[in-house]
Chains A and B, each alone.
Chain A
Amino acid sequence: MKARNLIKTIPMKLYVLLAAVILFAFFSNDFGLVDIQKTAVILAAGVDRSEEGFTLTAQIAVPKGSDRSQGGTSSVEIDAEGKTISDCVSLIFSKTGWVPKLVFCDLIVIGENAAKEDVISYLNYFLRSEYMPDSCKLAVCEGTAKELLSSTSAIDDASSLAIDKLFSDAAEKSGNVMTNTLKDFAIGYYGASKSGYLPYIRMTDQDGSQDPAGGTGGTGGTGAQQSEKIYSAEETAIFSEGRMVGLLPREQTLAFSLLKGNVEAGTLNVPDRDETVTLSVLKNEGGIDLEMKGAPIAKLDLSVMVRLCCRGTTAPMQDISSDGVPDAILERAKTVLDGYVRDLWQICKESGCDLFDLRRALYRSSLKKYAEWKDYLLASVTPEIKTEVKSMK
């Protein structure tokens, strides 16, 4: 009886043994992980146009060591020139022996020249990579991306980390910067509007003097002494069909943020007789609507709730703490915002950028009207701007 039971259980025992052997083989390959010592953790990538095709600059994180006083992340910039972005990545691998890993890449910077061509032609590489987060931030910079990424930041270990701070939620809520991600930019490009926007980064010396060449041109790893840089992204590059077609100044960037309803802690300067007063924006609602009854009308509505933040001159104590902002200042603030939005509209119209996704709104509402109007919509539509500035009570 015992022997028969033993024979009966032999197939199951063999099965368990086989399973154990295969699982042992399965777990012995470290799940395909690449040795960290042989890996290039790319923090940011920069793309420029070159004679051959593209220059890809990869900012690679290099640990500073175990000394706590020197902790943090330093970086090294490696660039490669190739016919495609993939070609450049392969060249970086062959130059360094490090396997380039884009999984931690949180920033792609596009050089000014590269932005003037269809950016999706090379961003597609990042967009299609399963190992690249499409939530990474995208930006255009003055000069070349290589110069920007290779510059020495005055405020952080690596230039990309300093730039990343410009794109924080707090910065976006201030209305001073309009951030965008790879995914959302691609959605705009492939959508009916075929338009998009990206923050535009400028680099200045720490002392505030403007660098005439858009940077010192120092490259990573050369060992040359570089002046420390600070960065700003208060302007916004606008795109149509993947090409940069215009630049929104600071004021229009704020107007665009307000129309999107993004601003919760921004400030607005308003002239008041011979001085300037600053209002802080506490609450903001914005909306863009397309009306196609008769001639097309774009309704741009924004409403802000403000309070008096400070004046440029000495004022009595109760001036700022008193209830409400004077009506005259509110009226001037409304005029200022009206002007910002009108200028914003004009820039978009002249550049052919459907920043307000009017074509998308039309496409979603009626295929027939979209087919009829899609080529003329931006030129034909009349803006109806409605701004409301309320005081906190």
Chain B
Amino acid sequence: MNKISQRQLFFLLGCVAPVGKLVILPARLAANAGGDLWIPALFHVLVQSAVIFCVLLLAKRGKSFYELLADTFGQIIAKILSVLFALFLLYAALLPLLEQQIFVRGVFYDTLPSLAAFSPFFLFSAYLCAKPLASFGRVWDILGPMAIVSFAGILVFSATNADYLAVLPVGSAGLKGIAGSTALSFSWFFDSALLIPLLGKIEYKRGAAWKGTLCYLAGGFAVLLFLVTFFGIFEGTAGNQLFAFTKTSKYYSAITALGRIDYVFIFALALVMAFYSALPLQGSIDCVLQAFGKKRYLPTLLSIGVNLLFFGFTVFFDFRFNLAMEFISQKLFWIFPVFTVLLPPLCLLLRRKRHESA
């Protein structure tokens, strides 16, 4: 079976995972916390890093999530818990997919295009979801460097126009503003949960846990740097700037003269984001497959079913994005800390049982 190498895992944690936080999250944080937008993000980065460290320690055991559960609770409860976790991943996938949809329609078209404009994404996603999750390590090998170069390009173009002192004074949003922003941004930081379906597929080598955590921290700090740059450019109007990473670089003097050459980087990041948006769907299907075995057409059928369902969601929420975002990130935000902060460290308590050799 294909295994995900350490390098591939680090690319996922340090380069692919941060990309999902660059679209709507910066504006949401700026609208709620103003110049303190980096504080909730810092909280999440630190918490997720600690949880990722725990998950990577679990990866050391070389067992899948289902196997770990089955060793402790038996097969029936393990199946139920796996399906429950798969459902959470589907829930977590909704916001990034809707975000991706309004991003594609808002940025790549000069008028509001038809609904069909985003539908090809589900062809792509259906293909990814039908493939074994572990085989995507090679994709991260390509996406990682692509994300680094594109992100650096956008940041270089943006930094010259940012007034970094705009984030002062620290604490201006007050405890209530910061706490509220922290709660609503849980739905963007679920990276530890994305690693759970990868358990048993990671080629664990000595030191992988802390190295992986450091990679995630590096990616997280890149997101913080972007948030501060973003606020430094837009200040009091930042809350109005959806699709943050497509906007910060456009004021660079060379772009005024040459046109939007930064779109090269924006397109590259959009590609990385497409893979990142499909990842929770892949993870969800993989959790079900772990529990029920890889029967012949099951991956294909699950992939078609899940993608049809999400296509339906994108149609239903077409003009209800704010409603969906409010529901997921405000009303039911607490679901995220349960599955992404509490659950993974608890898995460390699962019983250690040696595999019985056949």
Q: Which residues of A contact B (CB under 8 A)?
A: 11, 15, 18-19, 22-23, 25-26, 29, 31-34, 99, 101, 103, 127-128, 130-131, 135, 183, 186-187, 189-191, 363-367
Contacts of A31 in B (CB 8 A): 108-109, 113, 117
What distance in Å separates the Cβ of A37 from its nearest Cβ neighbour in chain B?
15
Contact B250 A135 (CB under 8 A): yes
Chain B 235-257 interface mask (CB, 8 Å, partner A; 1/0): 11100101000000011000010
Contact A190 B113 (CB under 8 A): no
- In the complex, A99 Cα to B114 Cα: how many Å? 17
What distance in Å separates the Cβ of B332 from its nearest Cβ neighbour in chain A?
28
Contact B119 A187 (CB under 8 A): no
Task: Given contacts A26-B117, A190-B235, list 5 more A-B pairs with CB under 8 A.
Answer: A29-B113, A29-B117, A131-B110, A364-B169, A366-B169
Question: Can you sample 17 A-B contacts with CB below 8 Å?
Answer: A15-B126, A22-B119, A25-B116, A26-B119, A29-B114, A29-B117, A31-B117, A32-B111, A32-B113, A33-B110, A33-B111, A99-B111, A131-B111, A186-B236, A190-B237, A191-B235, A366-B169
Contacts of A190 in B (CB 8 A): 235-237
What distance in Å separates the Cβ of B191 from its nearest Cβ neighbour in chain A?
29
Contact B123 A32 (CB under 8 A): no
Q: A22 contacts which of B109, B123, B171 (Cβ < 8 Å)?
A: B123
Contacts of A25 in B (CB 8 A): 116
Chain B 120-148 interface mask (CB, 8 Å, partner A; 1/0): 10010011000000000000000000000
Q: Would you list the 7 A-B pairs with minimal beta carbon distance, nearest first?
A: A190-B236, A32-B113, A364-B168, A187-B235, A32-B109, A32-B111, A19-B123
Decide yes or no: A29 and B116 within 8 Å by CB, A34-B111, A127-B240, A187-B236 being known contacts. Answer: yes
B106 an interface residue at 8 Å Cβ cutoff? yes
- In the complex, A25 Cα to B116 Cα: how many Å? 8
Total of A-B residue pairs, C-beta within 8 Å: 75
Contacts of A183 in B (CB 8 A): 234, 237, 251
Contacts of A32 in B (CB 8 A): 109-114, 117
Count of residues in B whose CB is under 8 Å from the partner chain: 31
What distance in Å separates the Cβ of A358 from its nearest Cβ neighbour in chain B?
14
Contact A365 B169 (CB under 8 A): yes
Q: A130 contacts which of B106, B236, B237 (Cβ < 8 Å)?
A: B106
Contacts of B112 in A (CB 8 A): 32
Contacts of B168 in A (CB 8 A): 364-365
- In the complex, A11 Cα to B108 Cα: how many Å? 32
Chain B 92-122 interface mask (CB, 8 Å, partner A; 1/0): 0000000000000010111111101101100
Contact B240 A128 (CB under 8 A): yes
Q: Which of A26, A33, A363: most chain B Cβ within 10 A?
A: A26
Chain B 246-283 interface mask (CB, 8 Å, partner A; 1/0): 00001100001000000000000000000000000000
Contacts of B108 in A (CB 8 A): 31
B80 an interface residue at 8 Å Cβ cutoff? no
Q: Dominant SS at the B interface?
A: helix
- In the complex, A25 Cα to B256 Cα: how many Å? 35
Contact B120 A26 (CB under 8 A): yes
Contacts of A103 in B (CB 8 A): 110
Contacts of B166 in A (CB 8 A): 364
B300 an interface residue at 8 Å Cβ cutoff? yes
- In the complex, A19 Cα to B122 Cα: how many Å? 10
Contact A187 B120 (CB under 8 A): no
B76 an interface residue at 8 Å Cβ cutoff? no
Contact B109 A15 (CB under 8 A): no
What distance in Å separates the Cβ of B178 from its nearest Cβ neighbour in chain A?
14
Contact A364 B165 (CB under 8 A): yes
Chain B residue nearest to A187 in the complex (CB): B235
- In the complex, A99 Cα to B111 Cα: how many Å? 11
B172 an interface residue at 8 Å Cβ cutoff? yes
Contacts of B111 in A (CB 8 A): 32-34, 99, 131
Contacts of A29 in B (CB 8 A): 113-114, 116-117
Decide yes or no: A18 and B110 within 8 Å by CB, A29-B116, A187-B235, A187-B237 being known contacts. Answer: no
Contact A367 B169 (CB under 8 A): yes
- In the complex, A363 Cα to B171 Cα: how many Å? 12
Q: B237 contacts which of A127, A135, A364 (Cβ < 8 Å)?
A: A127
Contacts of A128 in B (CB 8 A): 240
What distance in Å separates the Cβ of A374 from its nearest Cβ neighbour in chain B?
13
- In the complex, A366 Cα to B300 Cα: how many Å? 60
- In the complex, A34 Cα to B110 Cα: how many Å? 9
- In the complex, A186 Cα to B241 Cα: how many Å? 13
Contacts of A22 in B (CB 8 A): 119-120, 123
Chain B residue nearest to A190 in the complex (CB): B236
- In the complex, A127 Cα to B239 Cα: how many Å? 12
Contacts of A127 in B (CB 8 A): 237, 240
Chain A residue nearest to B108 in the complex (CB): A31
Please report which residues of chain B, range 179-230, place their CB below 8 angstroms from some CB of chain A when the two chains form the complex: none
- In the complex, A316 Cα to B111 Cα: how many Å? 66
Contacts of A367 in B (CB 8 A): 169, 171-172
Chain A residue nearest to B112 in the complex (CB): A32
Q: A186 contacts which of B117, B123, B172, B237 (Cβ < 8 Å)?
A: B237
Contact B236 A191 (CB under 8 A): yes
